[in-house]
Structure formats: structure tokens, C-alpha cells
Amino acid sequence: MKKLLLLLVSMLVLVLAACGSNSASSDNGNSSEEVQEDTTTAKEQSETANEVKTDLLAYQSEVIKVIRNAESAFVGFTTPEGIEAAEVKPADAAVAISEEIAAIEIPETLADYQTNLTEAADIISQFYSKKAELLQAGSEDLTDAETLKQSYIDSVNKVFEEVGVSAPKFGMVFL
């Protein structure tokens, strides 16, 4: 009888031990699911961040193309003779540049930065308007326009810093 009782107690202990380890493994399963969810969330955030960076670089690339074209157009306006000989006057060129920059669509992924990017686009438009005004007046002092250009560069650099991307080097963009 003692042996039978000992056998029953041993089996009961084994059954209880097995049930205890089963609930522990189900707890581990939940933890593993939580870790998997955290990993998935981290991957999604990383993919979103990469998409934001890519879209910001693509957007800025389009803006830089317009600026380079504008700078090449404004090279002819550096002298009164150049302004007179030009088919397009500086003020008209500035309006065209403003329209081109405004026409560049800001991607949806940059919605958090849309206000800053729109303000930067307005500043660069003001820069070309002011530059055109000064050149048309025959002024060689473009300090007022240069202040706007620096304000544009600072605005764009701020967005690039917030996104975590190296800011563009504008030395080769503006002539």
C-alpha cells in the first residue's frame, strides 16, 4: 500500500510539475509575442523614417534643380548691359522661379515638415524677387537678398537636422 501511495504521490507531483512548466511556457509565449510586436513596430518606424529621409532628399533635389536654373539665368543680370540684352527681365525671371518652386509637390510623408518647407520655399522666392529688384535698380550690393538666402539655407538645414539627414551644401548651388 505504501508503494502504491508513493507511486500516486509521485505521479501527482509529476502532473503538477508538468502543468506548472506549461503555464510558464505560455507566459514565455506571451513575452515572445510582445517582443515580436515591439520588433515589428521598430521595423515599421525605421521604414517610415527611411521613407521620410528619401522623400526629403528627393524634394530638395527638385528644389535645387530650380535654384541652379535660376542662378544660371541670373548670371546674365549682373550688369546693366546684361539686363538690357536679356530676353527675360529679372523681375519676370523671379516670378517664374517662384512659380516653379511652388509647383514642386511636398510628399505626404513630409507632412510634419510641410510648414517649414513651405516657409523655406517662400523665403527662396523672396530672395529671387529681392535680387531681381536690386539688380534691376543697378545695385551691386545684394546684402538684403543674401540675408534672405541665408534664412532659406537655415530653414532647410533645420528640417534636415530634424529628420536626421546631413544638410545639403549650398556653396555649389548658389553662384
Give residue-wise pLDDT tens across range 16-33.
556 655 544 455 555 666
Please indicate, yes or no, if residue 89 is contained in any of the structural domains.
yes
Chain position carrying cell 513575452: 31
Please indicate, yes or no, if residue 157 is contained in any of the structural domains.
yes
User: Rounded mean pLDDT of 70-97?
Assistant: 88
- What is the distance of C-alpha 112 from the center of its chain? 9
CB 149 within 8 A of CB 97: no
Please indicate, yes or no, if residue 15 is contained in any of the structural domains.
no
Q: What pLDDT was estimated at residue 161?
A: 96
Show the beta-strand stretches assigned E in 23-68. Answer: none
Number of domains in the chain: 1
Q: What pLDDT was estimated at residue 31?
A: 60
Please indicate, yes or no, if residue 12 is contained in any of the structural domains.
no
Please indicate, yes or no, if residue 63 is contained in any of the structural domains.
yes
Please indicate, yes or no, if residue 24 is contained in any of the structural domains.
no
User: Rounded mean pLDDT of 63-84?
Assistant: 89
3-17, 76-90, 159-173: which is most confident: 159-173
Burial of residue 74 (number of CB atoms within 10 Å: 0-12, 13-18, 19+): buried
Please indicate, yes or no, if residue 104 is contained in any of the structural domains.
yes
Residue 1's pLDDT band (cuts 50, 70, 90): low
Please indicate, yes or no, if residue 2 is contained in any of the structural domains.
no
Domain that holds residue 86: 50-172
Give residue-wise pLDDT tens across range 125-140.
999 999 999 998 888 8
